[in-house]
Chains A and B, each alone.
Chain A
Amino acid sequence: MATLAHKPFRVLPGFRLTLGYTLLYLSLLVLIPLSAVFIKTASGGWEHFWNSISSPRVLASFGLSFGASLAAAAINSVFGLLLAWSLVRYRFPGRKLVDSLVDLPFALPTAVAGIALTAIYAPKGWIGSLAASHDIRIAFTPWGVLIALIFIGLPFVVRTVQPVLEDLEVELEEAAASLGAARWQIFRHVIFPTLLPALLTGFALAFARAVGEYGSVIFIAGNIPLVSEIAPLMIVTKLEQFDYAGATSIAAVMLVVSFVLLLIINSLQAWSARRIGRSA
């Protein structure tokens, strides 16, 4: 094949400039700094890494972070689905207001949410005092962590399920109804399978956010070693003790978890896009 005698040109300008800038910006601000975590961890040696992350206190914090995050994401999946369903399917007074306020956890700074939740659930707070009268403590226990993680995770589920629910073809339900399916059967066999990828994506997003969450948790958690310390707090604690290698080791584990979650979320979203017939 003959080659072109002239330099090829692009119709729209700016490809090299914008792509170059994008890569440079990402490298300087995100990629190179993140690589520092792994380089630092590697330079500390395997043994030190293992000792850092296998101490009982760190293991307990991982257990709490992952456990509470899973529980919060699961709870949000159930109630987030109900909330999304209400917002899309029903007309009721205040629907639009609720719809706008669902994003509150995205907009409200985590520290603000943290102290507000603590004020509510502390033994002297509105709900906390109610629970205390039944000898239940919420704030400064793992239950408090769970509550904070539910707060920050809810919009992820609602906002991933909602558009898919809105996109759902009414004709599917009409067809199912005309074939004699009961309402529950339609939900079980027609609607739910279509929503499932989006619901799982929402679950994964809520979980990913919860694992790394810091601001809204540390106030209500009470941060009792081996009981209510979360993994990100362990990083801060190690830093305050000038144990940089220890902090970095925990961060490396969390970064790997983040990468894996990002990968899972990407494939879930691709699956979801395929399921509802849109190209990703």
Chain B
Amino acid sequence: MAATASALGQLAALPAPRHYEDNPATRDRAWVKWGVIGVSLAFFAGFLLLPLATVFIEALRRGWSVYLAAIVEPDALAAVRLTVLAAAVALPLNLVFGVAAAWAVAKFEFRGKQFLISLIDLPFSVSPVVAGLVYVLIFGAQGWFGTWFIDNDLKVVFAVPGIVLATVFVTVPFIARELIPLMQAQGKEEEEAAIVLGASGWQTFRHVTLPNIRWGLLYGVVLCNARAMGEFGAVSVVSGHIRGLTNTMPLQIEILYNEYQFAAAFAVASLLALLALLTLVLKTFIEWRAALAAREQREEEAQ
């Protein structure tokens, strides 16, 4: 995810759109062009479009009534609730973390900054299964604090808190990754100007920094939410798979699928696929807005 996470930050540096095909030096021959487009689109359609279409086709294979029944089924609804809950906890936590980390990294100089940025990225490179495992090791019955939690009748692993923790873990970097390059590119002159004019730290953040990073923030939130709601591996390890209690939507899909209730599995999956499409729409919209702002900025500098 690290690759795209900073995409918005890169937009500011993008040059104005060019027309490569109008320039004899960059124009490819027609057969090269259509050959490349043909091969790459076939690959794209086969590996990306086909699975997406399959979700909806399979979900509706047995008709709308079966589809609707699968979605309003109590266990499915419980899964939706738990998924929303996990995201609702992970988002604000990682939002505050992301803003704090980006403020420290982008506005100040300190030793080990590059290392800190790598640390923030770490959850991206850890297998989700390992992410789940670490919480089992700490809070599980044989874990470090396991006995203490059991003595106090608190369940973390194989219960809702574990699911929330695992979700937070895998989504830690999203918002920070988005904000750091953005705020580094913006520098700190505007903030300094605000302080010279007598603004307090909070006023500076609220009236100067926040408006400047709002699209990047939203972008990070959208991506973070998609991952929080869709996480499977990490959550699977800590969940214990108790139907109606510790199943998120992706886990519910797994259970239904393994019970050969394909239509129901795909019905729940189609909800997540819709969420994914919505995410992409929002993402495209924010990129478009940011590109617009970047273009204005360029015109401004060109004056």
Contacts and interface: CB of A to CB of B under 8 A. Distances in A.
Q: Which DSSP category, helix, strand, loop or mixed, fits chain B's interface?
A: helix
Range of interface residues on chain A?
35 or more
A12 B118 contact: no
Interface stretch (A49-57, A94-102, A130-138): A94-102
Nearest to B222: A107
B97 A21 contact: yes
B134 interface: yes
Contact of B133 (A89, A160, A247, A266): A247
B229 interface: yes
Nearest to A251: B130
Contacts, number: 321
Contacts of B290: none
B21 interface: yes
Contact of B128 (A156, A201, A205, A214): A214
Given A22-B97, A101-B49, A108-B230, A236 B237 contact: yes
28 contacts: A12-B107, A12-B195, A14-B201, A15-B107, A18-B101, A30-B172, A33-B135, A36-B144, A82-B36, A100-B280, A101-B48, A103-B283, A109-B269, A112-B276, A115-B265, A126-B54, A151-B48, A159-B3, A159-B4, A183-B32, A208-B125, A212-B126, A213-B127, A232-B129, A235-B130, A239-B133, A239-B136, A247-B133
Given A22-B97, A89-B20, 5 more contacts: A36-B137, A107-B279, A116-B269, A117-B51, A233-B129
Interface of B: 1-4, 7, 10, 13-15, 18-21, 23-26, 28-29, 32-33, 36-37, 39-41, 43-44, 47-52, 54-55, 58, 96-97, 100-101, 103-104, 107-108, 110, 116, 118-123, 125-130, 133-138, 140, 142-144, 165, 168-169, 172, 188, 191-192, 195, 200-201, 204-205, 223, 226-227, 229-233, 236-237, 249-251, 253-254, 257, 262, 265-266, 269, 272-273, 275-277, 279-281, 283-284
